[in-house]
Amino acid sequence: MRKIFGTLCLLVAMATGYTQNTTTIIKAGKLIDVETGKVLTNQMILIRHDSIIQVASNISIPIDANIIDLSKYTVLPGLIDCHTHITSQPSGDYYGDIFRKSAVDVAITAHVYAKKTLEAGFTTVRDLGAPGLVDIALRNAINNGDVVGPNIYAATVFIGATGSHGDLNGFSPYLEFNLPKGMSGIANGVEAVREQVRFNVKNGADVIKFGASAGVLSEEESVGAPQYTQEEMNAIVSEAKMWGRKAAAHAHGAEAIKMAVKAGVASVEHGSLVDAEGIQLMKEHGTYLVSDVYDDEYILSEYAKLGYPEKIINKEKMVGKLQRENFQKAVEAGVKIAYGTDAGVYPHGWNGKQFKWMTRFGLSPMGAIQAATINAADLIGIKEKTGSIKAGKKADIIAVLSNPIEDITSLEQVQFVMKNGIVYKK
């Protein structure tokens, strides 16, 4: 009778995305302990409300417990993607996406991408730039239970210099965009970048994202040239710290990476052209590398069809191979790695495709999983809440049919998703 009752409760949870405040037992055939790097067998996880109470090989089952039998599966912590743009993705109309869509258009479909991301097994993401504060609205709607999606740590608008990767380049200077002050993210000079950080924090930013260098998916001439001075980068990071926020630097170029690390950023995003000196600096400062090493595949196969200019595709051809080679050098040198995909560059819900490429270029399967769990939680600053299956942490738990230590691509097909004790996929 108890098992039937538990099954009925689970069916209700699957239909509504909500569970009552009950006790749940998960029976795990295999459990990946990311803190020790071991795969445990025949474990039980006791969950009350949204939190893990106990993990052991044998637990006395409370009489009112819902039982979820995952004895044929491998169970691991909910995955974390530290670099997404969860509110949008290319539609196939490059110029339409830039000139014909407002933040309202983006907001209308953002919840679709959020749901796909959660169902792919990513229970937490860091969203590093969205128009019109849509990421804040999406985060709040998810937290309020209005829509389904992962826990979001949002950056609001990308901070960039005039003419930078964050600016609108390659178009007529007579185009006018009458955005309210601060909403463009464009800021120049020490005082202006400090003011922009304050604007972002005021409007809900959990993390500060800025452009240390040029980029690939924009129409500036360079890929890696610095686009802020050392003083400006120092000001952004110190202002963020004053408000209790970490800073993430978009940085492809070797010099810009070193400048950002010296400024004290928590993470370097992309890191494509990092050199030996930059790798050493990152080790010394404990800076995380968040490198989107899958993107090259999708950009080179699909972006011409999606209407992107040849200039952008040529920049990717120049950068993609080097990014992977330098990622491998950073891994071998012992730089801290956190998982980040730049999802939104390719379709949301494909976040798990990057695991294969991270293992191809230096990480072990366990190392790649740790990058997307305990390391990612550490970077975001939520290690005490999530990132491992441990008593006292939130019940963010996923399961796959195959052991990802033996077949890392199994993480592309997640069968079970629980976030904060609520089952969203089974």
Q: What is the DSSP letter of 61?
A: P
- The pLDDT of residue 209: 98
- Residue 79 contacts residue 380 (beta carbons within 8 Å): no
Same domain for 201 and 315, yes or no, is yes
Q: E strands along 13-150, which residues?
A: 23-33, 38-48, 51-56, 66-77, 79-84, 122-127
Sign of CA dihedral 208, 209, 210, 213: positive
The model's pLDDT over 14-30, given as tens digits with 9 standing for 90+, comes to 444 544 458 999 999 99
Three-state DSSP at 345 gives coil
CATH classification of the domain holding 11: 2.30.40.10
What integer is the mean pLDDT of 59-73?
Answer: 94
Same domain for 146 and 230, yes or no, is yes
d(Cα 116, Cα 410) in Å, to the nearest integer?
17
Q: Structural domain of residue 144, as residue ranges?
A: 79-380
Same domain for 289 and 412, yes or no, is no
Residue 5 banded pLDDT, cuts 50, 70, 90: very low
Residue 130, pLDDT > 90, answer yes
The angle that helices 230-242 and 254-263 make with each other, rounded to 10 degrees, is 40
Q: E strands along 175-322, which residues?
A: 207-211, 246-251, 267-270, 288-290
What integer is the mean pLDDT of 360-365?
Answer: 97
Higher pLDDT among residues 166 and 84, named by residue: 84
d(Cα 257, Cα 275) in Å, to the nearest integer?
9
- Residue 361 contacts residue 331 (beta carbons within 8 Å): yes
Biggest CA pair distance of the chain: 72
Same domain for 285 and 357, yes or no, is yes
What integer is the mean pLDDT of 47-74?
Answer: 95
Low-confidence winner among 115-119, 221-225, 324-328, 397-401 (lowest mean pLDDT):
221-225
Residue 182 banded pLDDT, cuts 50, 70, 90: confident
Q: Which residues pair with 402 in a beta bridge?
A: none
Same domain for 84 and 72, yes or no, is no
The model's pLDDT over 246-264, given as tens digits with 9 standing for 90+, comes to 999 999 999 999 999 999 9
User: What percentage of the chain reaches a pLDDT higher than 70?
Assistant: 95
Residue 171, pLDDT > 90, answer no
Same domain for 194 and 317, yes or no, is yes
- The pLDDT of residue 28: 98
d(Cα 417, Cα 117) in Å, to the nearest integer?
11
Q: How many C-beta neighbours within 10 Å does residue 162 have?
A: 12
- 122-127 and 79-84 beta bridge pairing: parallel
CATH classification of the domain holding 90: 3.20.20.140
Domain count, the chain: 2
Same domain for 240 and 262, yes or no, is yes
Tokens of 66: 């819902």
Residue 123, pLDDT > 60, answer yes
Residue 12, pLDDT > 80, answer no
Residue 32, pLDDT > 80, answer yes
The model's pLDDT over 106-117, given as tens digits with 9 standing for 90+, comes to 999 999 999 999
Same domain for 124 and 136, yes or no, is yes
Residue 95 burial (10 A CB sphere; 0-12, 13-18, 19+):
exposed
**Closest to 413 (Cα-Cα) out of 398, 423, 397:** 398
Tokens of 44: 């039980």
Average pLDDT, the chain: 93
d(Cα 326, Cα 273) in Å, to the nearest integer?
7
Residue 8, pLDDT > 50, answer no
Same domain for 198 and 234, yes or no, is yes
What integer is the mean pLDDT of 148-169?
Answer: 94
d(Cα 292, Cα 166) in Å, to the nearest integer?
18
Residue 1, pLDDT > 60, answer no
- Residue 212 contacts residue 233 (beta carbons within 8 Å): yes
Same domain for 297 and 213, yes or no, is yes
Same domain for 271 and 344, yes or no, is yes
The model's pLDDT over 320-357, given as tens digits with 9 standing for 90+, comes to 999 999 999 999 999 999 999 999 999 999 999 999 99
- Residue 30 contacts residue 57 (beta carbons within 8 Å): no
Residue 298, pLDDT > 80, answer yes
List Cβ neighbours of 91 (8 Å cut-off, separation of 6 or more): 97, 306
d(Cα 265, Cα 325) in Å, to the nearest integer?
23
pTM over 0.85: yes
Same domain for 156 and 276, yes or no, is yes
Tokens of 164: 């930078």
User: What percentage of the chain reaches a pLDDT higher than 90?
Assistant: 85
